[in-house]
A and B are shown apart, each in its own frame.
Chain A
Amino acid sequence: MTVVLESRALSKRYGRRRGLTDCTLSVPAGRVAGLVGPNGAGKTTLLHLAVGLLEPTSGTIDVLGARPAASPEQLARIGFVAQDTPTYAGLTVADHLKLGARMNPGWDVGLARSRIGAIGLDPRQRAGKLSGGQRAQLALTLAIAKRPEFLLLDEPVSSLDPLARREFLQGLMEAVAEQGLSVLISSHLVADLERVCDYLIVLIDSRVQLSGDVDDLLASHRLLTGPLCDMAALPPRWQVVSASHTDRQSTLLIRTADPVHDPAWTVEQISMEDLVLAYMSKAANTPARDRTLEVQR
């Protein structure tokens, strides 16, 4: 299994504030990885470290086997769509394509032109006059037409309306399918990523809480409902992510490799959104020093 991003004990501090803490990750190639977490969790910090806009305080990060932004060649292999999809307001759409062509040796003129045509952007339009959705599409075109191997997107759809959101993600998935890209896309809304991701990283309060293949994660987590139980008496191989109790009933989210045979429990499959929410509330209820880093390889 080749990896596109590998980090070891990666940390970034902004003065006394923690941006990212002790992050050990390995994102496999050929996947669409979703980076999920609440606002301020450190998603942008991780992505900026991955594209070389930031330098780690400690730890290491390798992207496509090299230090991020170490050379023009390394930069040419990644595509980045930054948060709020920045473009030069005074430059036209055509200027942006020229910028991409002049600054990237692998620039695909045909791809850029056909994408701009398909979106219906007027090349003479200034980027400052574009709608949020159009600007996001322009930024995505710039990132895709440089023909990267690994595309990173920082909350690309968070400021878009539902229709623009769907069109953007559709365009992204088409490019992924055509070019065989590896993708890392962040969002604070799981719903955005549910349909596109096959790999999940949950980042909360500057720490990675969960990461792994979406199918594996969903298969290894189960939602159990049954009579009020004694938490100490549960099977030791069950890792309880969250538990809630009423007078007569217990509801547990557990992580286990084994099937649950005990007929006292009603077993339900869990959705990606429920899974992420469970980890978020777990993080919110646990003192920081007790949190364990869980990484599934």
Chain B
Amino acid sequence: MMWLTWRQFRTQAIAAATGLVLMAIVLAVSGVRLSDQFNASGIIGCQAHGSCEQLASNFLSTLKGSGYQVVFLIAVGLIYAVPGLIGLFWGAPLITREIEAGTFRLAWTQSVTRTRWLTIKVGVIGLAAMATAGLLSLMAGWWANPVYAASAKAGPRSTAVNRLEPALFGVSGIAPIGYAAFGFALGLTFGVLIRRTLPAMAATLAVFAGIQVAWPQLIRPHLLTPLRSIVPLDIANITGLMMNPGGDHMVVTASVNKPGAWILTNQSIDAAGHPFTGPATQACLNGGIQACNASVGRLHLRQLVTFQPASRFWTFQWYETAIFLALALALTWYCFWRVSRRRLT
């Protein structure tokens, strides 16, 4: 059974391995140079010079628009795409291909029970899926180490990257392993339910992409209770002043200096603790930024921030990986149940 699984899977396995090797070469060549550039930037040991924030910010701005950014974007795009592609091309056709060609009638009447057939198929291909995503994430993580190190030291107004925020969380650490297992199991399940390759692939794509988009917005922020921070609003940090022409509405936003944190909400509140919505001060209506800022300062506003601190990165990673692995297991169990109850033919 191992032989048949490998014989049927080897083309895809070789394609995946080739992709991994190519990516490894690109990341290794570019990563060594990026690392050299980081070592030369003076960020290490920057306390002695007293300008960590400036050095880190400079380093990050040299990367912007460079080849490194292209490599990073390709790696990020690939890690996002891989779990879905695995569901589409490894998960969905696993059963449907056998049903469409009628070959399940050949495979399941050899001296191997169909439960064992499915166990080995799911085991081999599922592990390959998880290994592919895990290796990609590991390589990209190694490559991006200098970027994250500089980002942790750069100030709030720099082009720092943040791996706890939705854009990068899903392509960092171990979470891609969970997504790959889930994508594979989702494809397998739609294959078992729909029994035809193309519709199963379409359903897998739609549902997986939907979850990938909705999850960071709707579910991840609530996995751990966010922290709240209330500090007096510092007019030096004001980044936005918005008011309507009549001046009865005004919103004030200020930057947050929490390196690596995932900022969920950031708003100004008044002395009573209610969100500040205006009215605008006379100085602001008259124009003149200095006078306006000074008048806002006299309102004694406070800044309320809810956030997930950078220190929770690995907790989130473990939670998310565990959740998606559990979902993958539940889907796989369902597929086994369907197949062993002979609900396919």
- What residues make up the interface of A, taking CB atoms closer than 8 Å to B? 48, 51-55, 69, 71-73, 75-76, 78-80, 82-84, 86-89, 91, 95, 98-100, 102-106, 139, 142, 146
| Pair A105/B103 contact, Cβ less than 8 Å | no
Shortest CB-to-CB span from B106 to chain A, Å, is 5
Contact partner, A75, options B1, B102, B103, B109, Cβ 8 Å: B109
A53, A71, A89: the one contacting B109 at CB < 8 Å is A53
- Is A104 a contact of B113 with CB atoms below 8 Å? no
Contact of B101 among A89, A95, A106 (CB under 8 A): A89
C-alpha spacing A98/B4, complex, angstroms: 9
- Interface residues in B68-111 by Cβ distance below 8 A to A read 101-106, 108-111
Contacts known (A75-B110, A78-B109); A53 close to B101, Cβ less than 8 A: no
User: What is the number of contacts between chain A and chain B, taking CB atoms within 8 Å?
Assistant: 81
What residues on A are CB-neighbors of B345 within 8 Å?
48, 53-54
Q: Would A105 and B342 count as touching, CB distance under 8 A? A: no
Q: Which of B3, B111, B116, B342 contacts A104 (CB 8 A)?
A: B111
A175 to chain B, nearest CB (A): 17
B114: chain A residues at CB < 8 Å are 69
Residue in A closest to B4 when the chains form the complex, CB atoms: A99
A102 to B53, CA, bound (A): 64
Enumerate 9 A-B pairs (CB-CB under 8 Å) in ascending A order: A51-B109, A52-B108, A75-B112, A75-B113, A79-B109, A82-B109, A86-B102, A88-B8, A88-B103
Q: Which residues of B contact A (CB under 8 A)?
A: 1-4, 7-8, 101-106, 108-114, 116, 341-342, 345
B113 adjacent to A103 (CB under 8 Å): no
In the complex, which of the residues B8, B109, B342 has the most CB atoms of chain A within 10 Å of its own CB atom?
B109
**Nearest 8 CB-CB pairings of A with B:** A82-B105, A86-B102, A76-B111, A103-B110, A80-B109, A55-B342, A102-B3, A104-B111
B113 touches A88 (CB 8 A): no
B2, B111, B113: residue with the most chain A Cβ atoms closer than 10 Å: B111
**In contact, B106 and A86 (Cβ under 8 angstroms):** yes
* Given A72-B111, A99-B4, A103-B112, A82:B106 Cβ within 8 A: yes
Beyond the given pairs A82-B109, A86-B105, 13 more chain A to chain B contacts, judged by CB atoms under 8 angstroms and listed by A's residue number, are: A53-B345, A72-B113, A72-B116, A75-B112, A80-B109, A82-B102, A84-B102, A86-B103, A89-B101, A102-B2, A139-B106, A146-B110, A146-B111
- In the bound assembly, the distance between CA atoms of A72 and B102 in angstroms comes to 21
User: A168 to nearest B CB, angstroms?
Assistant: 17
A103 and B111 form a contact (CB under 8 A): yes
Closest to A88 in B: B103
Do A53 and B111 touch (CB < 8 A)? no
Query: Across the interface, do B116 and A86 meet the contact criterion of CB distance under 8 Å?
Result: no
Contacting residues, chain B, for A106 (C-beta < 8 A): 111
Residue pair B103, A102 in contact (C-beta under 8 Å):
no
Residues on A with beta carbons closer than 8 Å to the beta carbon of B111: 72-73, 75-76, 103-106, 146
* Bound Cα distance A88, B102 (Å): 9
Q: In the bound complex, what is the Cα–Cα distance between A52 and B112 (angstroms)?
A: 12
Bound-state Cα–Cα, A52 to B345, Å: 11
**Which partner residue on chain A sits nearest B340 by CB separation?**
A55
Q: Which residue of B is nearest A48, CB measured?
A: B345
A146 to B2, CA, bound (A): 18
Contact, CB under 8 Å: A71 / B341 = no
> In the complex the two chains form, is B110's CB within 8 Å of A104's CB?
yes
A78 vs B3: C-alpha distance when bound (angstroms): 22
- How many whole Å from B250's CB to the nearest CB in chain A? 65
Say whether A72 contacts B112, CB under 8 Å: yes
What are the residues of chain B within 8 A of A52 when measuring CB–CB? 108-109, 342
Closest Cβ neighbor of B108 among chain A residues: A53
- In the complex, the answer to whether B105 meets A80 with C-beta atoms within 8 Å is yes
Which residue of B7, B102, B106, B116 contacts A142 across the interface (Cβ within 8 Å)?
Answer: B106
Q: CA A55 – CA B102 in complex, angstroms?
A: 18
